[in-house]
Structure 1
């Protein structure tokens, strides 16, 4: 699956969720400006000149950054900044994919340089910097994953409420939720976003509440896509000289038996006269024995397969848990070392006090006999 499968903008177009705030904002971010020449002077002042960002894209970036600077409400500006970051990350990725042999770090550096040149001096949008700790494709994809998860949580209710029985686009939902579920597991387990030591790194894009789990929505999709089974009465055709054997109710057997109360379960009696072939067939006990024997063999085979799967599952789970435990231990050790140093410094500054302990002494008299 591609990272694009988790793109809410693409998904909302496919399932008609265009009324969401994110869709409208993202569409506005991608709209071209009426006259790019108005931004040409600022584009020419970028030093060194832009190699990857053309004038049309530069004018969009400048338009979007200036729009951010005019938003006074902090929460609205924060959401708009989140949408803007996803949009500009996607522009970086598109240029990297379209130009073979291009240096990823050079492309990222140019976008950061252009963004900083526009945002410079705009104190109202100081919280919308583009921060890269690594200038490579893996880290860029990691940042895009964060924005996709953030959009999933922000639009969770509208997505959930749009799912209903008879929806002809269930396959679009399943494709989106399968990818979101992969990202959810990755960031909750590998990135430890729901761990005590990792929540501070993920607070701006991840929610650990179990109600937001994509797997719960997958269950809802499965329930909505199921169709009730059709119930039919099974009729076994008789041999020669044998009455029909019917499983069901008396309503379906009025033409065969009379006097049976309605809706009473029954099995019709079989004629005492059996065909000659029946005498050569195995007895009921033999048939039951053969069935049970074959089922027992199959059961042993299935049990062995399940046992093998469970063994490897718990083995890899214990291995991964030990790995996570080492990560937590390293993080915890930093805190423990810090507090140990604090305690030692406090103890070293404490002055020792001399304490006089009174111990009464009693004289011992002994009789001495000189020889």
Structure 2
């Protein structure tokens, strides 16, 4: 038996939580345990009943049970039965004790079956109760069933009998809290499962208990709130008991205090209907009438006075509902009722009431609204599902923000707003709250508010707007369900030591070659970054300076390298920012931006001092950099944008970037560039330089067919369509009219095609075939020479055909030999001859041996001998 089950026996639970010792179950358990451990007696029942059991351990256990079972069932020497509060639960308590003993004594499946078979077989004998009410039915349960039933009993009999103040003590140890929560879940699931599986032994046991459990109708009203409390213990507000609790009616802000101060700065507070309606509710709050508390007399409440006051204020507000609601004609009745419910969320979050107290409050609110007012002139409470004070505050905070968001948006749209940074920080906090609420919405406590948030930000372009107004706030990740937090990268301030280390490299010069490319290319391609080209603005965005006051923890690994390789840390920060933006893009836009980022990263790396070893990315700093980059990709769940980190040649990578950017700029240059002589000369110089790279890479990057286009091997930097040929732009810009380019530019074409040889063979043999067809039509009488084809006249072909024909014959014969009766015929031919010869000789031998049968033997004596018999001489 696993130690895990033994941890949850009643003795262990009582040692862990001493308040369980006050329960009826524990008292009953201890009394039965005394009898179980008492002196053995050899009565008649023991001798008769145990005659069919052979295992000595089981016999000993059953004797111990019989010692106390009979007197217990017949109320002999068991005063505890009459002293417990629940007279109809003694059988449940007995079973709980029995199940505990089965676990403590390490009984397994087969042993347990023997024990239950014994109890079932003799239930009408010595262990039969005299009174039918005290009969106890033992079902044949498996070990897993026993564990579940015992867990369920512990949840309902121990957890419910203790006071709510003890719940927090249980919640400190998640192992035990999970045990009771599992019992709660078992009860809910078993109610459904056992509707259709009544024949199972587990369901028989459960239904017996359920009928008793549901008899406590008055108690059941309180059990539901305890269930809710148990279901939300993980999310319970853990603030200290010294936290100041505001009393009902104490003047305070109607919205979150930080939000309240922020709204006051731009006079936004009074612009919303929410604030005005809250003020109306404050005015209609009034004083409560003691008569409203009479309905609480039948309920056991911890904070009866507080709940009485709240209930009285509900009655006051509903009595004046028309007066409160009428001035706000722009509000629908449902919206006004929502405001009232969230207003009470705020009140309830500041009172020292238990979850059960709050549930009774909502129950009586609903009862009063239904009884006193017509449906269209009242406000019903929202469904309460056991919310903690923290959950109530979270619901109201998110709701209030959504009501004010449009006014905040107007302020952010203004060109200059001194409070924009404060708004952005608050919005980031709200978005993080949304992520937390979404993650903890297991019991659907936050479903309504999450839906409202989703409706506000998903269908519209609100996120794009906020990204623009509040950059680097991670707001774009709010709906990414794979991220538990809003920001996938921990952001924190740099230490002074780290800041000094980053400053130390500011005047460092490169002490090694960064890699080189032809100076002609460098001069030309430096100019191509002109502002009106497509690539210029994208690279400008990618290369914008990142904030230096904060650090992403994922890039801190590069700070030790930054003193020698100055700029590598800043590049990592930029990569984080740019990949975050990439993660929000989709389809072609995402693919295009990935190509830009890839080429940009390699280009920026070459600018870092001392970074290259033999013109390749082989330093420790580069390896650590790309480790960080791939960690970033993994955290952002980017699976279609990769960096090659093995054997990368800088010269080639730079050329690839030039080609990539040319193709991206092509349409812009061809269709929109209008230049004078000086500018055109620079563009023409750019095109002629590109033409050289185009010719260098076209056959490497394109797998072409003469009549069926080309397959692009490397579409991230080269396009094979002839429309992108640099010669087209050269002609469009009329470069040959410029003196420097009078000689023109060689048009690069595809030097060979993948299907050239096939086309050549087809063309060659196609012509020869046509010639043969023509010769066949010539009359043989008019042709003195013998006309033959190359195949029939060439000795090699004749020999080859003969050899292949012979091989074909042998192959055919082999197949026939192996797979048809012909093979069997040839194989058995010699055997058959031998058998025929033997049969003939054997037949001859038999004929000779039985020749005497042909004579008349009536008057002769038979001589049984193996040699010839002579006749006697007459």
What TM-score do the two structures reach when normalised by structure 2? 0.23
Are 1:11 and 2:528 an aligned pair?
Answer: yes
Specify whether residues 104 and 226 from structure 1 end up closer, same or farther in structure 2 by C-alpha distance, changes over 3 A only.
closer
Question: Does the Cα contact within 8 Å between 1:92 and 1:111 map onto a contact in 2?
Answer: no
- Map of 2:693 onto structure 1: 183
Aligned to 2:652: 142
Bigger RCO of structures 1 and 2 (CA < 8 A, at least 6 apart): 1
Residue 278 of structure 1 corresponds to which residue in structure 2? none
Offset of residue 150 of structure 1: 2.1
Summarize deviations over 1:184-241 as a string: whole Å, max 9, x none: 111113x252446x945223332222221112322333457359xxxxxxxxxxxxxx
CA gap of 1:211–1:43, structure 2 versus 1, over 3 A, is: closer
Residues 1:97 and 1:176: Cα distance change in structure 2 (over 3 Å): farther
Matched residue, 2:554 = 42
Deviations, residues 130-180 of structure 1 (Å, cap 9, x unaligned) = 113414xxx233233223222212221111124446443122112211221
What corresponds to 1:85 in structure 2? 598
Q: TM-score if structure 1 supplies the norm length? A: 0.51
Q: Which residue of 1 aligns with 2:721?
A: 209
Q: Distance in 2 between matches of 1:54 and 1:204?
A: 25
Distance in structure 2 (CA, Å) of the matches to 1:11 and 1:161: 16
Q: Verify the 8 A CA contact 1:32 1:60 in the aligned structure 2.
A: yes
After superposition, the Cα gap between the structure-2 partners of 1:165 and 1:204, relative to the gap in structure 1 and judged at 3 Å, is closer
Instruction: Flag the 1:226–1:119 CA change in 2: closer, same or farther, 3 A.
Output: closer
**In the aligned structure 2, how far is the partner of 1:78 from the partner of 1:110?**
25
Query: Do 1:5 and 1:176's aligned partners in 2 also have CA atoms closer than 8 Å?
Result: no
Between the aligned partners of 2:527 and 2:623, the Cα distance in structure 1 is 27
Between Structure 1 and Structure 2, how many residues are aligned? 228
CA distance in 1, matches of 2:711, 2:591: 19
For residue 153 of structure 1, the aligned residue among 663, 672, 675 is 663
Q: In the alignment, which residue of structure 2 is the partner of 1:345?
A: none
The yes-or-no answer on 1:26 pairing with 2:539 is yes
| Residue 575 of structure 2: aligned partner | 61
Could you say if the C-alpha distance between residues 154 and 59 of structure 1 is closer, same or farther in structure 2, counting changes exceeding 3 Å?
Answer: same
Deviation at 1:81, TM superposition (A): 1.0
Q: Closer, same or farther in 2 for the Cα pair 1:352/1:154, shift >3 Å?
A: farther
Whether 2:708 is the aligned partner of 1:193: answer: no
Contact 2:555 2:569 in 1 (8 A): yes
SS at match of 1:105: coil
For residues 95-106 of structure 1, what are the structure 2 equivalents within 5 Å?
95=608, 104-106=617-619
Cα deviation, 1:35-93, whole Å, max 9, x if unaligned, reads 2232253322459866635433322122112221222x121111111111111111111
- d(CA) in 2 for partners of 1:109 and 1:6? 32
RMSD: 4.0
Please give the alpha-carbon distance, in whole angstroms, between the structure 1 residues aligned to 2:646 and 2:712.
17
Decide whether the 8 Å contact of 2:681 with 2:735 is kept in 1: no
* Secondary structure of residue in 1 paired with 2:717: coil
SS of the aligned residue for 2:545 comes to: coil
Gaps of 5+ in 2: 1-517, 740-750, 758-813, 823-874
Query: Computing the radius of gyration over CA atoms, which structure comes out larger, 1 or 2?
Result: 2
Map 1:220-369 onto structure 2 (within 5 A).
220-222=732-734, 225=737, 352=815, 354=819
Change in Cα spacing, 1:162 to 1:168, as seen in structure 2 (3 Å) is farther
| 1:122 is the counterpart of 2:636 | yes
